Amino acid sequence: MRIVVILDPIETLKPYKDTSLAIMREAAIRGHQLFVALQSDLFLRQEKVRLRAHLFEFSDEVSWYQLGQSAEYAPQDFDVVLMRKDPPFDNEFLYSTYLLDLAVQQGARVLNNPASVRDWNEKLSVANFPQFAPEFLVTRDNDLIREFLRSHGDIVVKPLDGMGGASIFRLTQLDPNISVILETITDYGKRTVMAQRYLPQILQGDKRIIVIDGAPVPYALARIPMAGETRGNLAAGGTGVAQLLTERDVEIAATVGKVLKQKGLFLVGLDVIGEHLTEINVTSPTGIVEIAAQTDCKPASLFMDALEAA
Q: Does the annotation count 281 as an active-site position?
A: yes
From the candidates 109, 158, 207, 263, give the one annotated as an active-site residue. Answer: 158
From the candidates 123, 197, 207, 263, give the one annotated as an active-site residue. Answer: 123
From the candidates 26, 122, 206, 271, give the one annotated as an active-site residue. Answer: 271
Q: Does the annotation count 207 as an active-site position?
A: no
Question: Please, which residues bridge with residue 34 across strands?
Answer: 3, 56
Q: Helix (H, G, I), strand (E, B), or coil: what is residue 97?
A: helix
Length of the chain: 310
- The DSSP result for 152-194, as a single string, is HSEEEEEETT--TTTT-EEEETT-TTHHHHHHHHTTTTTS-EE
From the candidates 109, 213, 281, 290, give the one annotated as an active-site residue. Answer: 281
Q: Does the annotation count 121 as an active-site position?
A: no
Q: Does the annotation count 279 as an active-site position?
A: yes
From the candidates 85, 207, 223, 263, give the one annotated as an active-site residue. Answer: 223
- Residue 159 phi, psi (nearest 5): -70, 160
From the candidates 26, 208, 233, 290, give the one annotated as an active-site residue. Answer: 208
Q: Does the annotation count 208 as an active-site position?
A: yes
From the candidates 50, 84, 231, 263, give the one annotated as an active-site residue. Answer: 231
Calculate the dihedral angle through the C-alpha atoms of 55, 61, 63, 67, rounding to the nearest 10 degrees. -10
- Residue 205 backbone zone (phi > 0: left; psi -120 to 50: alpha; other: beta): left
Q: Does the annotation count 298 as an active-site position?
A: no
Q: Does the annotation count 60 as an active-site position?
A: no
Q: Does the annotation count 263 as an active-site position?
A: no
DSSP run (H or E) holding 244: strand 239-244
Between CA 146 and CA 175 the distance in angstroms is 12
Calculate the dihedral angle through the C-alpha atoms of 240, 242, 245, 250, rounding to the nearest 10 degrees. 60
Q: Catalytic residue numbers?
A: 123, 158, 208, 223, 231, 271, 279, 281
